[in-house]
Amino acid sequence: MTNIKASINALDTLKIIITTSGDTEVKEGQDIASPLRLNAIESSQRRHFLKATDDILEKRSDTRTDLVEKAKETFKKENKQKKDEPDPVYDKKMINSLNTNKELLDELQKLGDEVKEIELSDKTIEVLKKYFISYGDKAGFSTGDDEVVIEVVDILGIEE
């Protein structure tokens, strides 16, 4: 067993990689991420990873939702919807406000940058490494992912 220190953003990235294939499929008229199908041994390692990280990622998700909801409430108090203003216009104003709310964005960034320690087996790390490389080759990563990708490369011990 190996203790790994990783940011919540890195753990979230690894969860996406070990649970989705990098492809999309249409389900009920919407494009969704295709689930990653693994053999029995790899599936067992995925369960080990998810067991080690689910509480951390769920807490982050709940905190993130709370922060966004509070920011929405603040926006609604400070910016009452005009009687003749259509809902989509008001909603777009609110989204734009949230996307430019430096305090909210800083809090969300700080939340994702928080480092946690988890314990993983060497087999689990090998499975993560295999699918991280495969995912990068298939779906690729955006420019905004660069810092997290570098962190994951270091965590998994991938030589460039």
pLDDT single digits (tens) 68-93: 999 999 999 999 999 898 999 999 99
Torsion, Cα of 31, 145, 125, 160 (10° steps): 120
Q: Is 70 exceeded by the pLDDT of residue 160?
A: no
Percent of the chain residues past pLDDT 90, beyond the cut: 73
Q: Where are the domains of the chain?
A: 2-156
Q: Is 90 exceeded by the pLDDT of residue 8?
A: yes
Percent of the chain residues past pLDDT 70, beyond the cut: 97
Closest C-alpha to 108, from 66, 54, 155: 66
Bigger pLDDT: 100 or 22?
100
One DSSP character per residue, 25-94 reads EEETTEEEEEEPP--HHHHHHHHHHHHHHHHHHHHHHHHHHHHHHHHHHHHHHHSPPPTTS-HHHHHHHH
pLDDT for res 145: 80
Q: The pTM is what?
A: 0.85
